Chain A
Amino acid sequence: MIKKWFTQFIRHIDSVLLATVLMILVVALMTLYSASGQSMAKVNGQLMNIMVMVGVMLLAANTQPQHIERIALPAYLFGLLLLVAVALIGDVSHGARRWLNLGVTKIQPSELMKLAVPIMLSWYFSKREAQLSSKDYAIAGLILLAPVLLIAKQPDLGTATLVFASGFYVIFLAGLSWKFIFGSAVAFGAALPVLWSMLHDYQRRRVEILIDPSQDPLGAGYHIIQATIAIGSGGTTGKGWLNGTQSQLDFVPERTTDFIFAVFAEEFGLVGCCLLLVLFTIIIGRAFMIASQAKNVFSRLLAGSIAATFFTYCFVNMGMVSGILPVVGIPLPLVSYGGTSLLTLGLSLGLLMSVHSHKRLVATD
């Protein structure tokens, strides 16, 4: 009986995704152990986070996409409400207003929106499936921009960008016209000088430093210099696990969280980096496959957006640490230390599995 129930339960698991994720997690825990100065406490903490993540993933994999569709609107509105609450009564920390204090616990509503926004948009387009008009894209744009602007105002530009990306992928996959995409890109380019002239001097400086950290060698630039040295000195095969001098000697900043890739690259070298890229590519490729096979609009849009967003995380983080992209506080999926990002990932991966396995069920039933 229990055995039967269990097989029912795990049959929704996608073995390719799960295996790849587990491989990355093993490497991640090893890197974390090294980066944290060989602290088992940190590793155990992350193991707890991983267990929560796997649990969430299993639950999400067993939830039918129709049920997810049903909560799309309420979850989105709830998230929006929380964001407004944050703007009005949120706690200020480090000069930004991001947290909502519920008395017992603090929550960061922008995190919720990373999934609530693509789910909401996928649901919206699936409702309007029959005849999509430009009005629908305009409404979708509003659905997307409302939370993005609220988050950007906190200010949390990193998260705002990611939420925007996750929603934009949905709209893009839903068939947003190329004319509009190129048109707005050109319009944005044209508006840049105007926006620039509207900024305060210190805001401009902040943007300049964001684009070119070497302008701020005493602040953000220092991080990039040290991270680059760590990666470069790793060479082809790396210095070996626990042997990364840059990382062990405290030169790499934020080395268990946002900059953990620098530690990995120093100890495992180019070979390790390329293997990691391959593993990420497998996850992304598998997710795209799931999206292309999905049988209804909601499922395929959601799966496609999750895949593309996952890619965005990987690319932006590794690009930032290796010095080709601006420094924005974005963790490396599955590798960086931290429970929140793992939780969101678990949910995303679970949703992918659900889309895949329930497609089969619908098809055969």
Chain B
Amino acid sequence: MGYSTELKNHQNEQHKFRIRLLILILLVLAAFSALASRFYFLQVHRYDYYQTLAENNRISIVPITPNRGLISDRHGVILAHNFFVYTLEITPSKTDDLQDTIADLSKIVEVSPTDLKRFKKLRAQSHTFESIPIRTHLNEFEAARFAVNRFRFPGVELKSRLFRHYPYGTLATHAIGYISRINENDLKKLKEHSELSNYKGTEHIGKAGVEQAYEQELHGVTGFQQVEIDADGRAVRVLSSASPTSGNNIALSIDAKLQEIAEQEFAGRRGALVAIQPATGEVLAMASMPSFDANLFVDGIDYDNWNLLNNSLDKPLINRALKGIYPPGSTFKPFVALAGLESGKRLPPYTISDPGYFMLPNSRHRYRDWKPSGHGSVDIRKAITVSCDTFFYGLAMELGIDRLTDFVRHFGFGEKTNLDIQGELSGLLPTPDWKKRRFKQPWYMGETVIVGIGQGYTLVTPMQLAHATAVLANSGKAIQPHLVNAIINAKTNAVKWLPHVVADQLPIHPDNLALVRQGMIDVTKPGGTAASVGANASYNIAAKTGTAQVVGIKQNEKYNEHAINERHRDHAWFIAYAPAEDPKIAVAVIVENGGHGGSAAGPIARKVMDYYLLGKLPPVVIPEGAELVVNAAEETHDATGLVEEAHD
């Protein structure tokens, strides 16, 4: 009985299996019939068509490169566009003798040694069947002369190519970036992203700034023509084609005029300025001085110009706004002050009596105030206004390094702002953990003390400091800064606005914010450290000056601005937002080796704010007020000698 059930089961199973097999067999027959009919379709039904194609064959696919998207400022001023130029190109594999060809060619159009050098460089990087430009930017006359003589030059072709041009040259170069010839590295990246075929025929790619970060938007989709070619490789007939899709246009948040004013106001000095709209995170200006002409790179920069830029002591190629890291100096104080208020440790009517120095318990080391005689009785508002070091030494010690850094981190210190272009550094917000990892050393209390005045290991980029100022102006709400406002479809003009990303939202008591703001407004009023900056302003400016030390000063030495080498002079910082009651713009300026923040960096910020808020430049001459002279010696910190040199 049991045996027969099993047998029955077995047969039952086998039966089910065979039904499944049958289904698979039907699948096979169906699939193979589909294949057979496809073969019939291709080989019988469409035979004539394919036969003709194969006969005359040679089908070649010619890419049609799309127009690269334009870049404009926030008001539509074009900052990067394309124009057609004639280029002469040689395909080495098609020439009989390359040397002779070039020699003959130079009798018809001028070929300079620079052209030759570039040709050789490019030739070394490409295959012999690729066409390489020997001359670019031919004028109409030269083009015509070559066209007449064309038959004498097999393998040489006159091509009309789109070139990128930056009409304002050096303006905002570090924000816009530039494009340059595609190299091996770019090819590898394109391959990884399966973009290689979309770049057939494209010779340039974004290498820096917005041109690099928004490459995908700007490039567009390459079109193609399927053409029949004759034995000489000339197109005879177009079989099918797909037009290219132009890259999207990009509208920056940068205001070109504002940017121009900022760059002009540096008047040859080194430094950086970043201006941000606090409520939106839109970067209104991002200057890194000196700048350079991006047009030099488009066509492959020549050796001499490259050396000049690369070896310059002023380092024009480095984007100081994102890559320059400096101690924030006293510009750090408003943030520390807010930490003191929010922790409840420095709420009014708390005051100290400043003897001109601060000492840790059980230590005889004096942390000196920039004003040797001290500031007298100081509350938190006055501490900001007069930039009282003693006040902040004590506050930092009482808060402790962890509480201090945890608080100011909300303003973006020690972290990248995640600006929408590459290359940003994150600065440094030192903590005991960090020091242990980095130096394998314990944290000392003295190091906490000097963090209170923005010295020690603390490092920021101008972008970070501008962002932090914008967060402060925006009552603790951090909007990620960005350079691109909108992406515009070149064909339909449809505008895609990029969203404003809220990066952090720190709840701060309005009274505390008001107190810090009042201290900062007083900075630009008579008695403040930047009184001259606020002179004759029709709106209130909340600001803070600062100094970043370049060379450490020993305990008993005195800093003398005039006696030391210009490049060892302190860097001047200035941060501000205005109008103080309803902030529309937040600015951070650093002037390298500028000395004092109020006199060197402040006026630049003022002119930028005047233009943005009032639409005009202030009177050219700054009144030489008495405050300016009095306050010039502000904040020449010695700290402890632990102060690191500022990096640039």
Q: Which residues of A contact B (CB under 8 A)?
A: 95, 129, 169, 172-173, 175, 201-202, 205-206, 209, 216-220, 222, 225-226, 228-236, 245-246, 249, 251, 265, 269-270, 273-274, 277, 280-281, 284-285, 288, 291-292, 297, 300, 304, 307-308, 311, 315, 318-319, 322-324
Contacts and interface: CB of A to CB of B under 8 A. Distances in A.
Contacts of B242: 217
B100 to A, nearest CB: 30
B537 interface: no
B28 interface: yes
Contacts of B224: 217-218
A281 B28 contact: yes
B51 A233 contact: yes
A234 B38 CA distance: 13
Contacts of B249: none
20 contacts: A173-B17, A175-B16, A202-B194, A205-B194, A217-B226, A218-B200, A229-B50, A232-B43, A236-B44, A245-B55, A246-B57, A270-B39, A273-B43, A274-B36, A292-B18, A300-B14, A304-B20, A311-B27, A315-B28, A318-B35
B34 interface: yes
**Interface extent on B, as a size class?**
35 or more
A265 B54 contact: no
A95 B191 CA distance: 9
Select the residue from A234, A245, A281 with max chain B CB neighbours within 10 A. A234
A229 B32 contact: no
A229 B54 contact: yes
Given A175-B20, A288-B21, A311-B28, A218 B222 contact: yes
Contacts of A297: 13
Nearest to A318: B35
B54 A230 contact: yes
B595 interface: no
Contacts, number: 143
B46 A232 contact: yes
Interface of B: 13-14, 16-18, 20-21, 24-25, 27-29, 31-32, 34-36, 38-40, 42-44, 46-47, 49-51, 53-55, 57-59, 61, 63, 191-198, 200, 216, 222, 224, 226, 242
Secondary structure type dominating chain A contacts: helix
Nearest to A251: B57
Given A233-B55, A277-B32, A281-B28, 20 more contacts: A173-B17, A217-B61, A225-B59, A228-B50, A229-B53, A232-B53, A232-B54, A233-B53, A235-B51, A236-B43, A245-B57, A251-B58, A270-B44, A273-B39, A284-B28, A315-B28, A315-B32, A315-B35, A319-B31, A319-B38
A277 B50 contact: no
A283 to B, nearest CB: 11
Nearest to A173: B20
A299 B58 CA distance: 52
A308 B226 CA distance: 39
Contacts of B197: 216, 218-220
Contact of B194 (A206, A222, A229): A206
A79 to B, nearest CB: 25
A300 B15 CA distance: 12
A194 B222 CA distance: 29
A300 B39 CA distance: 33
B192 A269 contact: no
A281 B31 CA distance: 11
Given A202-B195, A274-B36, A226 B43 contact: no
A311 B51 contact: no
Contacts of A251: 57-59
Contacts of A216: 197
A277 B47 contact: no
B43 A235 contact: yes
Contacts of B38: 319, 322-324
A322 B54 contact: no
B21 A231 contact: no
Nearest to B196: A219
A311 to B, nearest CB: 5
B234 to A, nearest CB: 18
A236 B48 CA distance: 11
Contacts of A319: 31, 34-35, 38
Contacts of B40: 270
Select the residue from A219, A225, A232, A270 with max chain B CB neighbours within 10 A. A232
B201 to A, nearest CB: 8
A270 B37 CA distance: 10
A304 to B, nearest CB: 6
Contacts of B193: 202
A285 B28 CA distance: 9
B21 A232 contact: no
Contacts of B53: 229, 232-233
Nearest to B193: A202
8 tightest Cβ-Cβ pairs between the two chains A and B: A232-B50, A219-B197, A233-B54, A232-B42, A218-B197, A270-B43, A233-B50, A202-B193
